[in-house]
A and B are shown apart, each in its own frame.
Chain A
Amino acid sequence: MIEMIDVWKTYPNGTNALEGINVKIEKGEFVYVVGPSGAGKSTFIKLMYREEKPTKGTILLNGFNISKLKESQIPKVRRSIGVVFQDYKLLPKLNVYENVAFAMEVVEASKKQTKPRVLEMLELVKLKNKLRSYPSELSGGEQQRVSIARALVNSPGTIIADEPTGNLDPETSWEIMRIFEEINVRGTTVVMATHNREIVNTLRKRVIAIESGRIVRDEQRGEYGYEG
């Protein structure tokens, strides 16, 4: 469960990225965050995994009040969510298996726990045949699938994705969306910032539209609502 109560974010250079955001996302929901570039989408997403701190307001995430979080508590919060990025953020010197296992290593899981779990996740994203490949040997879609497997491997309750299909062609984007749909069906909350009109309008979910730092629209089974 994610809740934001009157959240404001002003960057040190004076830009008002968010102005009084109030929103509640229940467990198991699938939410698109849409809006023009520079409207505050990214800030909204970054606040959720505590890359940015709000200037004012309260953010509750899985029971943590992350706006009042001590530095030492951040890792705990990050372990309860999985994050997926537009640029995949894989470690180039580790192969597919190692990249996914890395997230479990960090939480000090044993080898015995790690192996079956990593294989299970790679099965889910259909990359079990590329365990030993390195990121540079994979297509964009495959890399994104690895990063999704990594985000899921510690069984977080929430997946936060910042334009996960931004660098992918339409067909590959749909492959990725099918994976998100599947994990949502299994009970994981999905919050996804996106510019992909076709996806939002076809795979109908709750849509939150942000413009100039405010939520201007929040509807179930909503539309993308912008041109192009």
Chain B
Amino acid sequence: MKVRTMGRHLREGSRNITRNGWMSFASMSSVAITLFILGVFLLLALNVNHIANVVERQVEIRVFVKQDVEQSEVDKLGEKLKDLSQVESVTFIPKEEGLENFKKSFGDKAYWFEGLEKENPLSDEFVVKTKDPVETEMVAERIKNLPYVESVNYAKDMIKKLFTITTMVRNIGVAFIVALAFTAMFLIANTIKLTIVARRREIEIMKLVGATNSFIRWPFFIEGLLMGSLGSVVPIILLLVGYHYLIELVQVDLNLYFLDLLPLNPLAWQLALLLMGIGAFIGVWGSMMSVHRFLKV
């Protein structure tokens, strides 16, 4: 294709948007509205996923070492724990520190336990975190069989419930997003189809004077691309500004620090790129699908 022709296609494609003013406006509005709803769900799903991740990461295995074991053996056990393939981190809490923590938890009543230092009833302890929290149970079972391990403690039932809930929330999120994306596609394809039906005469004439199919398609491709991307601008701005205020509201005004929302950066860029990409894709797809029907003249 000649460069001049590409220039012509770009010009035609953008001019078509203004020429079919109201139709283009309708298409872009439906892109905007669906992308906005999609964006809201996306933000919601991403944050739920994020919170689920944070909660899951708090899952840990507490490994208690048998009493009266040589310090060197304890260290060896620590090495063995670190060597387990699914283990991410191992923290050693000597029994002295354990006692300190224990006393601290009683606040000003800590004096009750004065003198226990000499005959510390607590065990040395390892806190193990797994790379993937789902593997907690399996790792715990393996640790149980290591030498000098007195007992292993983790919230077995709680973990099972937690994972059922987080998987469910994630699946529902994905299903919603997929369904919304499809709805958006059909809505947009339909609106663009209307604008093309209005121009079938134009296409017919182009074919009759000897235009090739790709010559006819290009301006429509560009038009769809522009409408899709332009249509995504307003929802992106609204979502990002809205999200910015939401973070402020949650963390500054309401002091809900436990509600750990994803930070605006890099989420803003990811969301903007994703929505613009989806917008451009459905714009192009919709206009290509529709023009295809009229090329068989």
Interface of A toward B, CB cutoff 8 Å: 49, 51, 72, 74-79, 83, 89-91, 93, 102-103, 105-108, 110-111, 150, 154
Contacts and interface: CB of A to CB of B under 8 A. Distances in A.
Main secondary structure of the interface of B (DSSP, over half): helix
Nearest to A151: B209
Interface in B252-285: none
Contact of A78 (B5, B208, B213): B208
Contact of B19 (A49, A74, A93, A154): A93
Contacts of A150: 209
Interface residues of B, number: 20
Contact of B210 (A72, A76, A93): A76
A91 B202 contact: yes
Most buried by A among B201, B208, B212, B213: B208
A160 B96 CA distance: 103
Contacts of A83: 208-209
**Shortest 10 CB-CB contacts between residues of A and residues of B:** A79-B210, A78-B210, A106-B211, A103-B209, A75-B210, A75-B212, A108-B5, A106-B209, A89-B205, A108-B2
B144 interface: no
Interface string B2-17: 1011001000000000
Interface in B178-212: 201-202, 204-212
Nearest to B206: A106
Most buried by B among A72, A77, A105, A111: A105
Nearest to A104: B209
A93 B201 CA distance: 12
Interface of B: 1-2, 4-5, 8, 19, 201-202, 204-213, 215, 297
A198 B4 CA distance: 47
Contacts of B205: 89-91, 102
A89 B212 contact: no
A109 to B, nearest CB: 9
A105 B8 contact: yes
A98 to B, nearest CB: 11
Given A103-B209, A106-B209, 15 more contacts: A72-B212, A72-B213, A75-B207, A75-B211, A83-B208, A83-B209, A89-B204, A90-B205, A91-B202, A93-B19, A102-B205, A108-B2, A108-B4, A108-B5, A111-B4
Nearest to A77: B210
Contacts of A107: 210
Contact of A106 (B2, B19, B210): B210
A126 B202 CA distance: 25
A186 to B, nearest CB: 20
